[in-house]
Amino acid sequence: MKVALNTRILQAPRTGIGQYVAALAQALGEQPGVRLDYFQGWGWSRALPRAALPGYSRWSSAVRRVPGAYRIRRWLEQQRFDRGLRERDVQLYHEPSLWPLEFDGPMVMTVHDLTHVRYPQTQPRNRLAEIERRVGEGVARAGRILVDSHFVGAELQEYFGLPAERVMVAPLGCAARFRPRTAEQLRTVLAPLALEAGGYLICVGTLEPRKNLQQALRAHALLPPAMRERYPLLIAGMAGWRQEQLSAELAAALAGGQVRLLGYLDDDTLAGVLAGARLLLFPSLYEGFGLPVLEAMASGVPTVLARTSSLPEVAGEAGCFVEPQDAQGMADAIRRLLEDENEWARLRGLGLDRAVAFSWQACARITVEAYRQAMEG
């Protein structure tokens, strides 16, 4: 089975979908009878890029301001894609995000969420228009559509009127670097950041309105002063579009010295910082899966998270759920887990047990089955 996998997203620093593409590609490479060719945007390769393109974020931000940039870039990529196809005996094309290219053959597409439908205000207007057009075209063409959760599968079927047999749920996995670690094992990661294992709370995610980080900031501010001092709140993630919506509250919290903005962390540093946290706060309004929740569970870190979208499906009984707009309720849940060692240990154990059920190998096996069904028509 000769598959073209679009890995262009790996030009950028790896966030959720980038992690999916990299991990899935590696797991697919271990599946018998599968040969992958990677389309990287500017050309083709049989090997994944080891890191993002230097300066990608600055370059991408500048390009987005050019009128018609998305369509121009897509046209150029289509030319390179077609040129490479003529040199390769590709049987199937897998598009792992929302921008499928033209392909005269079986196609599988991964739809991670419908953020552009549920929260269109979180996207720049020109990008939103292109997403709406391309997603509809892709869903219509794809023989099988992979989703990360049953929640997104149901949304997709309802919104596009799809038959259930065209949608296949392939839950995400968790990299081996996300695991419990002792304070001594974390020392080399945490010391340069002036952090102490078990001495902080953390939020992980791009700074954008959908992630609802305002509620985490408000909940942390409602904790007793001594508790805020003992457990500062760290925010790890890249700046997102419309980050200015967070600016006032974030600036005030940063000025108080009990909230720290870490920015984007490389894979190994993030894994270490997450493993050293006392709790993960994840108040997101909408997630197709919520990979940081799984990564926290695998690291032995309990999570206080919103009872929304796919999150109950991922965390199950291991999650400490709150209403996403209830800052006081979140503060109460945080305080309870910080003060009640038995409850903290109970959720930690449930999370470690639950994380074992998710793997990239299982995701790859379902993906290969989607390829097979798409090729059979």
**pLDDT greater than 80 at residue 59:** no
Q: Which of 18-27, 66-75, 106-115, 162-171 has the lowest mean pLDDT?
A: 66-75
Q: What 3-state class would DSSP assign to 76?
A: helix
Average pLDDT, the chain: 90
**pLDDT greater than 90 at residue 289:** yes
In terms of C-beta density within 10 A (0-12 exposed, 13-18 middle, 19 or more buried), how is residue 244 classed? exposed
Interatomic CA distance for residues 371 and 106, integer angstroms: 8
Of 331 and 63, the one with more pLDDT: 331
Of 135 and 273, the one with more pLDDT: 273
Most confident of 38-52, 130-144, 175-189: 175-189
**Average of pLDDT values for 155-173?**
97
Instruction: Measure CA 39 to chain center.
Output: 21
Domain edges within the chain: 2-173+359-376, 183-355
- pLDDT tens per residue, range 304-324: 999 999 999 999 999 999 999
Of 349 and 207, the one with more pLDDT: 349
- pLDDT tens per residue, range 211-229: 889 899 999 999 999 999 9
- H or E, element range at 234: strand 233-236
What is the CATH T-level fold of the domain 2-173+359-376, as seen in this structure? Answer: Rossmann fold (3.40.50)
Which residue type occupies 126? N
Interatomic CA distance for residues 238 and 286, integer angstroms: 18
Interatomic CA distance for residues 212 and 240, integer angstroms: 12
| CA within 13 Å, CB half, 220 | 32
pLDDT in the model for residue 63: 55
**pLDDT greater than 60 at residue 244:** no
| Report field, pTM of the whole predicted structure over 0.85 | yes
Contact 140, 127 (CB under 8 A): no
Which overall architecture, per CATH, does domain 183-355 show?
3-Layer(aba) Sandwich (3.40)
Interatomic CA distance for residues 203 and 281, integer angstroms: 5
Query: At a CB cut-off of 8 Å and minimum separation 6, what does 249 contact?
Result: 214, 217, 218
Query: At a CB cut-off of 8 Å and minimum separation 6, what does 290 contact?
Result: 282, 284, 305, 309, 310, 311, 314, 315
Q: What 3-state class would DSSP assign to 15?
A: coil
Q: Give a three-class secondary structure readout of 257-317.
A: CCEEEEECCCHHHHHHHHHCCCEEEECCCCCCCCHHHHHHHHCCCCEEEECCCCHHHHHHH
What are the tokens at 20? 């999916």
- pLDDT tens per residue, range 258-271: 999 998 899 999 99
Backbone angles phi, psi at 180, to 5 degrees: -65, 145
Q: Which of 154-163, 234-243, 285-294, 315-324 has the lowest mean pLDDT?
A: 234-243
Contact 225, 231 (CB under 8 A): no
**pLDDT greater than 90 at residue 126:** no
State the DSSP code for 52: P
pLDDT in the model for residue 56: 55
Contact 314, 259 (CB under 8 A): no
**pLDDT greater than 60 at residue 372:** yes
Task: Provide the pLDDT confidence category of residue 184 given band limits of 50, 70 and 90.
Answer: very high
State the DSSP code for 205: S
